[in-house]
Amino acid sequence: MKLVPKNDQVLTAVCHPVDFANPPFDLVEFSQELVKCMYDNNGIGLSANQVGVPYRIFAMRGSPENFVCINPRVIMPSEETILLDEGCLSYPNLFVKIKRPRHVRVRFQTPNGETMTQMFTGISARCFLHEMDHMDGLVFYRHANDYHRHQAMNRLKKLERQLKRNEK
């Protein structure tokens, strides 16, 4: 399992819900592979469409265990927000300041079909919302205001120029 290129159309398409009565593949096995791919790429979250699978499934690091969320929904985001740098495995070296809710109450199914309701805070809430965006075909930097997006793109261009110079 590997990441699709950042220009792959699967990244901007809305993903399909998983029908547990007729799953498209072995959900437990796929979930294990998705978590492994997330770790192999040093991520804290990874959506199925980032590996070319257009279903509403994502993995995220957790403590004491990782989560695989299937058919996730946001029940209630907090009104309180926080502005932090955010990155994405599909867009290497791009970090953008994005405002997101500090807390989020969510519901999802596990690979075994159990329905869970959880409250995530801080980076876990941000990760959950970021992965939800992937499944809705939304690219994370679109949440940034114009100023922060422009700054991030300029930093990325500068880094890419430096990398090219170092290759010579």
Enter the tokens of residue 34. 């998705």
Contacts of 139 (CB under 8 A, 6+ apart): 11, 12, 91, 133
Among 79, 86, 131, 160, the one annotated catalytic: 131
Contacts of 13 (CB under 8 A, 6+ apart): 49, 54, 137
Q: Strand, coil or helix: what is 63?
A: coil
Q: Is 80 a catalytic residue?
A: no
Q: Counting Cβ atoms within 10 Å, is residue 7 exposed (0-12), middle (13-18) or buried (19+)?
A: exposed
Active-site annotation, residues:
131
